[in-house]
Structure formats: C-alpha cells, structure tokens
Structure 1
C-alpha cells in the first residue's frame, strides 16, 4: 500500500472478481463517510464481464461469449471490463474536496487525457458523447470509459482505459450506448505499453487532478 496526500493508492496484481470489488467499494465508501478509513484510488483488472449502469437498455446486450453481467449501481449503460484494461476506482470525499459532481467528472476526464498524452496518445472529450476518444471523423474511437456514483458525497466507481484488451469482446454490447463509433486501445494505436507504464502516467497526473478538485471556486 502507498499513501499519496493521505489517500491510499492500491494496485491489485491479479484480476479481481467484480462482486468482490463492488462490495469493497461500498464498504470503503461507507467507512470514508464515517471517517474511519482513508480515501482510496484502486487500480485493477477484472475477468471478462459486462456491467449494467442505471440507464442500461437490454436491447444493447448481445453477449455471444456468455460473459457474466453485473448490475453496477453507477450511471450509464453497458460497459465491458476484462484483462488488459486498466480500471481505476476512485473513492473520494467530495465533502472535503468541493461538492461539485460535474467538476469531479470533468476532472477525471482531464486526468485520463493527461495520462494518455504522457504515453504519446492525443485523446479528447467529444461533446454529447461520454468517454475519452482518439482520432477524428470516421476514424474516431473510444479509448476510455467513465461511470461514477456519488453516495453521501463519497464517490464510487471511476474509469477504465483500454491498454491491450481483446477488443472483440466489446462486440457483445453497444458500448455505453454509442453504436456509431468503434473502440480502440493503446495497443491498437501502436503503443505497446504495459499496465505498469499506464499506472506510472496516472500517478504522475494524480496530484494535478486532486488539486483541481480543491480550487477556490469549489464549494467547501
């Protein structure tokens, strides 16, 4: 375990079953709210699975491989998780860091974009489309997904960056309800970077992300 600015930074080496991760997040968020545990940034992988957000449409789930489908309790629609994808669960107390959920999500997007830039990938937000994208026009593809929940001003869930997952697995859903664009990864973009390299870029960008949540314009 490492501690950064009094926040636990945890990296799990082996894929974590989704139900276990969800239970850990819920318990940790409750403990953060009660003041009995540190906030947590948790970097991990999951076995191949789909998660359903609160807006999930069953018509967007095909699942030819028969992967498990989990109710996530976060916002959004269907998302794929699997090996080769760096998942980052963010459990922070917005009571301490500004009660600005929109600013929090914007900050997560910026953190992802900054980390990818360090790795030589120019990524961007796309108006009207959730997620982080690369390319332009017909070649635009999603490289990162976001989905969060805020419970008693403590955040749960977070984001995922596609490092080197099996992209064919995404064909089991309409990712985040967006059918017109494809999905890509660092590997597909020609960046042979392992999870540890992605983790290092995320760690370098963490303090600027955190500082952005504590700006003077935020509600204390």
Structure 2
C-alpha cells in the first residue's frame, strides 16, 4: 500500500530560477490533474504524489503576485534581466548562491494539514534547524517567515512564500545560509521597511557547510511532516 506521506526528493544543487519554476509548475499541475481525475473516477483512484526540491539559484529577484515594484531600488535595465513576477504570495525577495531554497510540492491533505498549520510547520522546521547553530528563531504575527532578534534589529533569516490551489502547494522557503546579504540592499525585502535580513553565517561568524544544513532540513521535515523520502 502506498504511504500518502511519501515524497519524491530531488536536490538540484545549482539551477537557474526560471528552469526550476517551470519544472515545479509541471509537478504542481500533475498533482492537481490527478486530484481532479480522482474526483470524477471514484472507482479508479490514482495515487496523489508529493515532491520536494532543494536548489541554490543564480542571482535573481522574485516578486510575488501582490508585490509592489516600489520595493525595487535598482534601475529598469537591470530589473528586466534579473527579476521575475511570479505566482506566489508575498512581496519581493532575493535568491542566490549560499541560500538554500526548498520547494515542497505537496498535497497537504496527504499530511492531514490545513494551510495555516502547513505554514506554521515550515516555520517550526527552520526554527529547529537554526537552533543547532545556537540561533534562536521566532515568528512574528502576520509576517510569515522566521526571524532573529540580535538586539540591534529584527532580521529575517528565512523567507516563506507559497502558492496553493486545491490544497496543493508550490514555491516554498529560502533559508539564508552563507548568502551574500548585500544583494538585499537592492530591494525592500518582503516589502517590510523596518526590519532587515540575516544568515546563519552572519549569526555564527562561521562558514556553514551546505550539505550539513540539507541533512538537518530533511531531518526536521521528516519529524514534522512524517515524510518517507523516495
């Protein structure tokens, strides 16, 4: 019998944003089509799969569907080459080397979750992960993501932005590991003016091994979502 929390896992290492976006959209649509088929064919139910992608992108900015171009602080020529207006929630963020991006393409009913609990689980996964580096992360009401308070300023260490349709998710979260944070100076991250960004590297003052972070991330995803990786 197929375990509904089984997840097909792929680690792309480094991959361009647009290629990854096209690929995850294909997986997302596949899950939705299977769910629609199952609704119409009660006697021939197909297994509804789940997918998880790890990736580091080249330098790129992405703007969520409700994001404002006012939060871009660089010129229009650069803008056309390096920004994508996409179909996730949230405002503008940066992706680049040293940042671990995770795309869960899940039917959250397979995990007995609603959207609120799904987002809180993602946050808790990151909070547990960064605690391994003696970093205390926390949530802020109505500002999805994971935050760190270094007494001088509240900074976001992990941004979360998703798309959901028929309880199927895509997009996900971006954890700053060894990220060059200077790229965030070109934007108002997530459209929030009074808070900044940070990384595991900045908080610990050590270069962090990405493979170690990936192992920890999988560990806590397994713990909270009861995942069986394929």
TM-score range, shorter chain: 0.7 to 0.9
2:49 aligned to 32, 38, 45, which one? Answer: 38
Q: CA offset at residue 120 of structure 1?
A: 2.5
Which residue is 2:61 aligned to?
A: 50
For residue 194 of structure 2, the aligned residue among 180, 200, 204 is 180
Contact kept? 2:54, 2:103, Cα under 8 Å? yes
Deviation at 1:5, TM superposition (A): 5.2
Q: CA deviation at 1:23?
A: 1.0
> CA offsets, 1:175-197, max 9 Å, x none?
00111122111111124212111
Q: What residue in structure 2 maps to residue 150 of structure 1? A: 164
User: What number of residue pairs does the alignment pair up?
Assistant: 209
State whether residues 119 and 201 of structure 1, in contact with CA within 8 Å, keep that contact through their aligned partners in structure 2.
Answer: no
Structure 1: state its 5+ residue gaps: 213-220
> What is the root-mean-square deviation of aligned Cα atoms in Å?
2.2
TM-score by structure 1 length?
A: 0.87
- Distance in 1 (CA, whole Å) between partners of 2:85 and 2:151 is 33
2:209 to 167, 187, 194: 194
1:91 and 2:105 correspond:
yes
> 1:19: Cα distance to partner?
1.3
Higher radius of gyration, 1 or 2: 2
**Whole-Å Cα distance in 1 between the matches of residues 139 and 194 of structure 2?**
16
CA distance in 2, matches of 1:139, 1:83: 24
Alignment correspondent of 2:175 = 161
Question: CA separation in 1, counterparts of 2:151 and 2:133?
Answer: 22
Structure 1 pair 142/12, CA: closer, same or farther in 2 (3 Å)? same
Question: Displacement of 1:170 after TM fit?
Answer: 0.3
TM-score normalized by structure 2? Answer: 0.84
Give me the whole-angstrom Cα distance separating, in 1, the residues matched to 2:118 and 2:31.
Answer: 17
| Contact preservation (8 Å) 1:74, 1:147 | yes
